[in-house]
A and B are shown apart, each in its own frame.
Chain A
Amino acid sequence: MEITPPSLEYARLMPLIVVFAGACLGVLVEAVTPRSARWPVQVGLTFLTLLVAGALTVSGWSAGDVGISALGSVAVDLPTYFVWTALLVLGALSLLLFTERRLNGGVSAFAPQAAAVPGSVDEELAIRARTEHSEVYPLALFSLFGMMLFAAAGDLLVMFVALEILSLPLYLVCALARRRRLLSQEAGLKYFLLGALASAFFLYGVAMLYGYAGSFDLAALDAAISAGQQSTWLLLVGMAGVSIGLLFKVAAVPFHSWTPDVYTGAPTAVTAFMASCTKIAAVAALLRVFYVGLGGLRWDWQPLMALLAVLTMAVGALLAITQTDVKRMLAYSSITHAGFMLTAVTGASLSSGARDLSSVGATLFYLVAYGAASVGAFAVVTLIRDRNGEASSLDDWAGLGRRHPWLAGAFSVFMLSFAGIPLTSGFIAKVSVFESAWSGGYAWLVVVGVVLSLLAAYFYLRVIVTLFFAEPRPRAAAVTADAGTAGPDVGPSSGAEPAGGATAEAAEPGTGALSLATRRDDAAASAEETSVTSTASRPELGAGEVGVGRAGVATYAAVAVAVALTVVFGLVPGPLLELALQASVFLR
């Protein structure tokens, strides 16, 4: 028997290969570089990888180098190029947040030693030694590689592998928060268990579909459905299993329950990464499976998808209203937006002409608009802090707009975009998805979506009201509680500060807050950290005081880019919409 080696289209697959190679190199760097050099080397390597991969993607895209590659398992087509570019750009933006160290007094937002039990001596030793997990960079790259492959997979088995590649590193980095480590570990574990369950469903569905079609290939599946000679229940069970796996990643109701806990518990930079990139990859894969593989079953899944869209929008919006924590509210908002995107998926409208909207194009535009605003919003969340770290309770944000008008203004832009208010990209995105849903014959879904948009607008606008109009509430209870535990550790510079005394100083540009002691979980370490990071020249945030932490350039750059994307795509959406619409036909 003669074995012919498979021919791979290396040039076309190069962006994938570069990201994967970058991640592998990152692992190598961990092994050979001295500890002190690891962080900068990793950062450099990661962004170099993203840059090269981005350049290759764009050059391949502009050259129109499309085709089914790698023996039918990877479909490099226009939607893939669009998604890859979006993933690389938004991934780079989120990774900028990973690099932030100034905000935490010179250390990253990730646990010093993940293996150490929270509050243990080991952990304290790790903090004193200032160890850091620079492994987060290769992990993020692996995850990004998984996402790129997931969105491009033309074969259900490769899709499953990609799903695992993107998920496993995420489970890990979710559990790596420096503050509130128990919450973070809980988030990681929850994500892992539920994700594993969803993966199992996905795999089961893949097996059923294989049984039906006799192939993992999406095009073969489509052909088998057209021929329609097999038992339908295999197909339906298979479709159900695969959909559950995909909808879990998309965070659609009723597979959404992990989202709030994971988004809240994970380090905020990771949350930004998940909210933007995971969502893009998952929705893109969903589109590919349903439009390419299961397109023949349209009439069967459309009503179900419409129902899911309504449920997702409604549950997300209703529960978001009741939230008092900004991060958690953003998690529910992410669910709501999954619902808005599902309306377009339901419509399944194809573009009849070159200048026409299609479901795929509208969804792709929505993903970019939502992703950019999400990264920006979470970046702002990392900046608003009290002495213990991020202060994400909505009450803590009251009146910040007066003291920090620019930052609050940026956050308002993101909220307006989420709410779909004109002059932001969110408006155009919402109009496009609703238009494609209506074009597909789902006018009632659009009406429901519009009503639920109003509900959603309510809680986004509430945040703006809190930022600009609410009076800051004194956090008396919190102050005394913290003073008892943290007082002796933090030293005289902050202990004597009367609550409210730092307001005037915090309002001065450039002298805003800083040097934030650690959370109670690792309060033992705070003395050491504070002594390292706080100097007499920096005014300390008073106990219970909320202000804007002094961050490095990277975080501000992420916020600025996100604002720019949101506003520009809101005012001049034409070019991006054009690209998205051109990219609306999948290769089979």
Chain B
Amino acid sequence: MNIPWLTVLGLLPLAGALLLVALPRTAARAAGLAVSLLALVLGGWVVAQHLAGAPLAEQVPWIPQIGAYWALGPTDGLSLTMVALTLVLTPVVLLASWRDEDRRGGASEGVRDAAAVRQREQVLVGAGGPERPETVGAGAGGGATATAPEQPRRWSARAFFALVLALEGFALLAFLTTDVLLFFLLFDAILLPMYFLIGAFGGPNRRRAASRFLIFALGGGLIMLASVIGLYVVSARAGEPSFLVADLAALGIDGEVGRWLFVGFFIAFAVKAPMVPVHTWLPDAAEESTPAGAVLLVGILDKLGTFGMIRFCLGLFPEASLWATPVVLVLALVSILYGALAAIGSKDLMRLVAFTSISHFGFIVLGIFAWTSQSMSGSILYMLNHGLSTAALFLVVGYLVKRRGSRSIEAFGGVQKVAPVTAGLLLFAGLSTLALPGLSSFVSEFLVLAGTFSRYPAVAAVATLGIVLAALYILIMYQRTMTGPVTDDVRDHVRSDLDGRERLTLAPLVVLIVVLGFFPAPVLDAVAPVVGATLEQAGVTDPAPSVEQEAN
């Protein structure tokens, strides 16, 4: 029997989300985790099929009148890398927010008066303790619970799990699809679960941050919609209208039309990625959302931007992409440096991580638009690695913030003496972010820079500054929060190290970061064909290594 496995893979989490709404509250979390693990297994099987040389593909006419297809696959290295990242991060995120979402959203409302907090806790321990065994057990959640009544009511954990699964399903389909209209549809649809994840579960200013996120994303999406409509017109004039990437690429859209359409797509992806100057929504959104929400936002959702650049900007408009390269490279450099500098200047932990992401997205875009096979493979690998290391960083920071009850860097100090495992994992995630050799990000960052250097040495030289700055923002942050004498506030609040569940969420990320750091070859081999095809379509060949000859 011919089972459309890719459709099943994409619809499984969506069906799971619906199922969760119907299930009783108590069973919802376990069911959600089970669905995400099932999707992970199924995804592993799909990847195995691809590696065995039988890529899956499905194509059914969806709206024949406008040439839209329900087209998933054929799978390639790019789509499967992103699918794998999504599948891995979702169960991790679900497990990480196992306990939080009923009462509070993790990141809280900044530095508070320690005395007031202590007073509140005494009240809690005296009066509210027995009724809330789960927070008493942790010993640290008390301060957090006390503030819950003052804030607007949050939604249930069941809603959180359902939204995460819906987001996973949309993301999987978006990464797998090869139809432009279907991609656009999912690109916009995925905003809804994300919007509710920020708006219903985040910090005190979450509603504003969520609205800002949505307006930016919808704005970018609508600009892209104009280009999508333009694509339809171009393909309809060339004969049968079709939204299939393969058909559109065969048209060889170039000239002025191609450039306008390219600009529409690129703006949407730049907003999503996000690049300076359309990045302003990300720090707010990441700051106000829960750590789990931030992981999904930066780790998966934003990848749609860079994914789209490779698949649609370069794939459909190679000529226009080459035309735009100088501008894009400058924007990428600005993103790298601005993100890094802003991260150094951040006083808020979540915001800091968000700014590091802007810097890293700059590297990814740099690699994509440097037009060498090395740099583009590096970018795709970077997308995977950035997802893993940022997820680890957000989660550790989230655990810390939950204990301390503040996101402010100033509120911490000497944590490593109180919670050594937390501190160690923070350092590990931080080092992975700054691309320490031996950890996965190093390989990708090196490939991006090396590839860029072979074509644009000056650009690569400036971009290398980003690495230096990365070391600064991570290490300064570590120094300020973890080292030094233990402050009173930290001693009062950070009363426990990571528990088993929290360690379990980080374990797969740590393992993957180390394994990919030493052994990135499978991923690089898988993405090589995509990169080769993209470059070939644009008529670009790798520059010959001319440096040594000149040196002779």
Chain A interface (Cβ < 8 Å from any Cβ of B): 352-353, 355-357, 361, 402, 416, 421-423, 427-428, 431-432, 434-435, 438-439, 443, 446-447, 450-451, 453-454, 457-458, 461, 465, 468-469, 471, 573-574, 577-578, 581
Contact = CB atoms under 8 A, between A and B. Distances in A.
A573 B233 CA distance: 19
- Using C-beta atoms within 8 Å of the partner chain, give the interface range for chain B: 35 or more
Contacts of B219: 454
B330 interface: no
B229 A438 contact: yes
Given A355-B240, A421-B189, A439-B236, A574 B62 contact: yes
Contacts of A435: 66, 229, 232-233
B225 A450 contact: yes
Nearest to B199: A469
Query: Which of the listed residues B184, B185, B188 has the most CB atoms from chain A within 10 Å of its own CB?
Result: B185
B207 A469 contact: yes
A422 B188 contact: yes
Contacts of A438: 229-230, 232-233
Contact of B185 (A357, A423, A450): A423
B211 interface: yes
B223 interface: yes
Interface string B216-241: 00110011011011101100100011
Q: Which 5 A-B pairs have the closest CB atoms?
A: A422-B185, A450-B226, A422-B188, A422-B189, A450-B222
A454 B218 contact: yes
B64 interface: yes
B362 to A, nearest CB: 26
29 contacts: A352-B236, A355-B64, A357-B65, A357-B236, A361-B65, A421-B192, A422-B186, A422-B189, A423-B189, A431-B66, A431-B225, A434-B229, A435-B66, A438-B232, A439-B233, A446-B229, A446-B230, A450-B223, A453-B222, A457-B218, A457-B222, A461-B211, A461-B214, A465-B211, A468-B200, A471-B152, A574-B64, A578-B64, A578-B65
B181 interface: yes
B153 interface: yes
B222 A458 contact: no
Contacts of A573: 63
Interface of B: 61-67, 152-153, 181, 184-186, 188-189, 192, 196, 199-200, 207, 211, 214-215, 218-219, 222-223, 225-226, 228-230, 232-233, 236, 240-241
B152 A421 contact: no
Nearest to B224: A450
A441 to B, nearest CB: 9
Nearest to A447: B226
A577 B189 contact: no
Given A439-B236, A443-B230, A574-B63, A421 B188 contact: yes
Nearest to B64: A355
Contacts of A581: 65
A577 B186 contact: no
Contacts, number: 95
Query: Which of the listed residues A352, A435, A577 has the most CB atoms from chain B within 10 Å of its own CB?
Result: A435
Given A355-B240, A574-B64, A458 B229 contact: no
B233 A422 contact: no
Contacts of B189: 421-423
Contacts of A468: 196, 199-200
Contacts of A458: 215
Secondary structure at chain B's binding surface: helix, strand, loop or mixed? helix
Given A432-B66, A461-B214, A468-B200, A356 B241 contact: yes
B445 to A, nearest CB: 35
Query: Which of the listed residues A431, A434, A446, A471 has the most CB atoms from chain B within 10 Å of its own CB?
Result: A431
Contacts of B196: 468
Nearest to A458: B215
A434 B231 CA distance: 12
Nearest to A428: B63
Contacts of A451: 222
Nearest to B230: A438
Contacts of B63: 428, 573-574, 577
A427 B185 CA distance: 9
Contacts of A461: 211, 214
A416 B196 CA distance: 14
A543 to B, nearest CB: 24
A239 to B, nearest CB: 28
Nearest to B67: A355
A485 B153 CA distance: 35
B151 to A, nearest CB: 10
Contacts of A443: 230, 233
A563 to B, nearest CB: 15
A465 B207 contact: yes
B65 A574 contact: yes
Contacts of A423: 185, 189
Given A355-B64, A356-B241, A454-B219, A446 B236 contact: no
Contact of A431 (B64, B229, B236): B229
A326 to B, nearest CB: 19
Contacts of B66: 357, 431-432, 435, 577
Contact of B199 (A428, A446, A465, A578): A465
B289 to A, nearest CB: 14
B265 to A, nearest CB: 13
Contacts of B200: 468-469
Contacts of A432: 66
A468 B197 CA distance: 12
A429 to B, nearest CB: 12
Contacts of B153: 402
Contacts of A578: 64-65
B236 A356 contact: yes
B361 to A, nearest CB: 24
Contacts of B232: 357, 435, 438
Given A422-B188, A438-B233, A450-B225, A431 B181 contact: yes
A352 B236 CA distance: 9
Contacts of B241: 355-357
A453 B218 CA distance: 10
A210 B181 CA distance: 47
Nearest to B182: A422
Contacts of A439: 233, 236
Contacts of B240: 353, 355
Contacts of A427: 185, 188
Contacts of B211: 461, 465
A577 B215 contact: no
Contacts of B230: 438, 443, 446
A183 to B, nearest CB: 33
Nearest to A427: B185
A434 B62 CA distance: 19
B386 to A, nearest CB: 27
A446 B371 CA distance: 33
A384 B232 CA distance: 42
A264 B218 CA distance: 30
Given A431-B225, A465-B211, A469-B199, A356 B65 contact: yes
A327 to B, nearest CB: 24
A428 B181 CA distance: 10
A304 B214 CA distance: 34
Nearest to B66: A357
A438 B225 CA distance: 12
A86 B219 CA distance: 33
A423 B240 CA distance: 25
B35 to A, nearest CB: 20
A461 B218 CA distance: 11
A435 B184 CA distance: 15
Contacts of A446: 226, 229-230
Contacts of B223: 450
Nearest to B189: A422
Contacts of A574: 61-65
